[in-house]
Amino acid sequence: MILLSSENTSIQKPKKVRTLVLIGCIVLFVFGIVFTLTGVGLLAFNMETDADGYKQSSIYEVRSDSYAFALWVKSSSFPSYLTWMSPKDIGQERWTVKTVNTDKPLFVGWAEAVDGENYLYSGIMFSTPPTWHRSIAAYHSEIEIPASIIYNQNAPPRPPTEETFWIETVKSTETSTITWDAFWESVEDRKILIVMNADGSRNVQADIQLGFKVPIFSWMPFVLIPVGLILCLTGAFLIKQKNK
């Protein structure tokens, strides 16, 4: 009886090993399918973005009689589970400002909020919404800007291009873009976007859009799809071999 038990055990052990190997092959095949479908999905979504990978919001029309139009911008919340990655890889936002009057160059300035406030509240006549909202996600971007309120009455002492506090500026008779990391340290507080005529004159007219992208999603399909296909083919081949 003891010998029979030993023989049964030796027969069952290879069967268990073969079963585990087969399960492993099936898991490999399933992971390949998941990787491939995820890559194809990201590739399809990427085709809905612009040439730079941004998902653009609807257009907000700035039609102001003042010397400047301003938007205060808060930083976005950085996902805690992605702290091992660079904020630049997680999300980038971009303002696209298109000139309505192509005969007059438009100035777009990006600055720390405190510097922009000191500039505007020195007495410059500017317009800004009391509150506004932006909604951003991997493949979604939207701005909700209500009617603006005008403050102050004075003209700027000199053209905005001569000020030195700006983080970034663009002057153009066509389309200007300001790009920044969607997530920054809270100690840096808010930023401010200021749109003016380059010569500092009144009547600011522009079309504004907000874009958002996740940079890592632009190259992930080209990694996931090949890896997924390799896993699928490897898993299918091994499953076929085990069933022979």
In tens, the pLDDT along 11-26 reads 555 777 777 878 888 8
Of residues 210, 122, 224, the one with CA closest to residue 165: 122
Please tell me whether residues 151 and 224 are part of one structural domain.
no
Per-residue burial over 141-172, b if 16 or more Cβ lie within 10 Å, else e, is: bebebeebeebbeeebeeebeebeebeebbeb
Residue 185, domain extent: 55-213
What's 122's DSSP letter? T
Please tell me whether residues 145 and 39 are part of one structural domain.
no
Please tell me whether residues 32 and 124 are part of one structural domain.
no
What are the tokens at 225?
Answer: 């799809």
Number of structural domains (the chain) is 2
What's 244's DSSP letter? -
- Cβ atoms of 71 and 183 within 8 Å: the answer is no
Q: Are strands 106-112 and 191-197 parallel, antiparallel or unpaired?
A: antiparallel
Q: Which amino acid is at 207?
A: D
pLDDT digits over 126-145, tens only? 999 999 999 888 889 999 99
Percent of the chain, pLDDT > 90? 60
Please tell me whether residues 20 and 131 are part of one structural domain.
no
* Separation between Cα atoms, residue 237 and residue 26, nearest integer Å: 10
Please tell me whether residues 121 and 200 are part of one structural domain.
yes
Model pLDDT, residue 1: 47
Beta bridge partners of 180: 93
Q: Are strands 68-73 and 168-172 parallel, antiparallel or unpaired?
A: unpaired
Per-residue burial over 42-68, b if 16 or more Cβ lie within 10 Å, else e, is: bbeebeebeeebbbbbeebebebebbb
Please tell me whether residues 61 and 77 are part of one structural domain.
yes
Please tell me whether residues 176 and 235 are part of one structural domain.
no
Please tell me whether residues 153 and 124 are part of one structural domain.
yes
Please tell me whether residues 113 and 170 are part of one structural domain.
yes
What's 185's DSSP letter? -
In this prediction, the residues of the chain whose per-residue pLDDT falls under 70 are: 1-13, 78-81, 185-188, 242-244
Please tell me whether residues 86 and 192 are part of one structural domain.
yes
Please tell me whether residues 86 and 17 are part of one structural domain.
no
Please tell me whether residues 188 and 114 are part of one structural domain.
yes
